[in-house]
Amino acid sequence: MSARIIDGKALAAGIREDVAQRAKALRAQGITAGLAVVLVGDDPASHVYVRNKAQACEKAGLYSREIRLAADTPQATLLDVIEGLNADPAIHGILVQLPLPAPLDANQVIAAIAADKDVDGFHISNVGLLMTGQPRFIPCTPYGVMKMLESEKVVLRGAEAVVVGASNIVGKPMAMLLLAQGATVTLCNSKTRDLAAQTRRADVLVVATGRPNMIRSDMIKPGAIVIDVGINRLPDGRLTGDVAFDESCAVAGAITPVPGGVGPMTIAMLLVNTIEAAERSLSHTPLL
Ligand code: NDP
C-alpha cells in the first residue's frame, strides 16, 4: 500500500486565490485588508516566516506592514506598538511573531491585541469562543489541518482522532476542532504512557511535537490519515517533520509531506482570517 500524499501547497494556492477575489471585492468597496506583523529580535526562522507571510499578503492583494523591533525592546514599548495598531483603521489583523525574546511576556502582549484583530486566534476571548463552539478566529495551523481533512473528505463523526502535542497554538485548538466535528479525541503530551498504543488506535493522527521522525510506521494504524505539523531542521540543513515519512507511506492511507504540507496551509489560513477581519470591519459586526 502507498499512501496518498496530501498536497498542502496546491490546496493553499486555491485558498489564496479565493482570498484574492475577496480582497478585490473589498477594494471595490474602498477597503484594503491590512495585516501588521510584529517581529521582535533576530531569530532567523522567525524572519523567514515573517517574510513569507508578508509576501503571501502582497500576492493576494492585501496590505502588509512589518514592524521590526530590537531584541531588547522593553515590554511597555511593545505594548504601545500594539495599542497603535489596535487603533489604526488601515490594519485589520495583528500578528506578533512568537517566540518573543526573554524577558518579554507573550501572554501579556497577546492579551493587549484587540480581539477583533487577533488573526492568530491566540487571545483568550478567541480561545474561549473556540472552546465553546462559537469560533471567531481559529488558530491558523489547526484551521489549515481541518481544511486538509475536509478536502480529503475524511469522515470525522465517530472517528478516533489522536493529537500528539498539546501546545496552545497547535495541539489544544486542534483537539477542540476535531471534537467539534464529532471525533473521539485523545490529546497526548510528553508524559503519555505508551504513546504507540494511543497512536495505533487513530483513524486520524495529527502530530505536532517538534521531535523529528518520532512517529514510526509501526505506530500508525493501517489506512490512517496522518497529518504531520512538525517542521524540524536537521543538522544537514534539510527540513523534516515529526513523522518518519518514507516508511509511514507504506502504512498510512494518506499523509502530508514536510515541506509542502501543513506549512503552506498555515499561511493561507492567516490570509483567510485577515480577510474575514476586514470584511467584518465593513459590516461592523459587534464583538461577542
Ligand atoms: P511546543 O514545543 O509548544 O509543544 C510541543 C508539544 O509536544 C508539547 O505538548 C509536548 O508535551 C509534546 N511533546 C514533546 N515531545 C513529545 C513526545 N516525545 N511524545 C509526546 N508528546 C511530546 O511546539 P508547537 O506546538 O509550537 O510546535 C510543534 C511542531 O510544529 C514544531 O516542529 C513546530 O515547528 C511545528 N509548527 C509548524 C507549524 C506549521 O505551520 N506547519 C506551525 C506551528 C508549529 P508537553 O506538553 O508534555 O511538554
Q: Which domains does the chain have, with CATH numbers?
A: 30-120 (3.40.50.10860), 140-263 (3.40.50.720)
Q: How far is the CA of 279 from the centre of ligand 1 (A)?
A: 33
Mean pLDDT over residues 36-55, rounded? 94
pLDDT in tens, 211-265: 999 999 999 999 999 999 999 999 999 999 999 999 999 999 999 999 999 999 9
**The pLDDT of residue 282:** 84
Tracing cell 497603535 back to the chain, one arrives at 84
Does residue 163's CB lie within 6 angstroms of at least one atom of ligand 1? no
Task: Supply the mean pLDDT for the chain.
Answer: 96
Residue of 96, 132, 85 lying closest to 288 (CA atoms): 132
**The pLDDT of residue 283:** 81
pLDDT in tens, 103-120: 999 999 999 999 999 999
63/102 Cα distance (integer angstroms): 30
51 pairs with which residues across the strands? none
Does residue 210's CB lie within 6 angstroms of at least one atom of ligand 1? yes
Atom of ligand 1 nearest to the CA of 267: 40
Q: Does residue 29 surpass a pLDDT of 80?
A: yes
Q: Is 147 a catalytic residue?
A: no
Q: Does 231 belong to an annotated binding site?
A: yes
Q: For the chain, percent helix, then strand, then coil, each to nearest 5?
A: 45, 15, 40
**The pLDDT of residue 285:** 60
27/191 Cα distance (integer angstroms): 50
Q: Does residue 179 surpass a pLDDT of 90?
A: yes
- How large is the ipTM? 0.99
Q: How far is the CA of 26 from the centre of ligand 1 (A)?
A: 37
Residue 190, exposed/middle/buried by CB under 10 A (0-12, 13-18, 19+)? exposed
Residue 55, phi then psi, degrees to nearest 5 = -65, -40
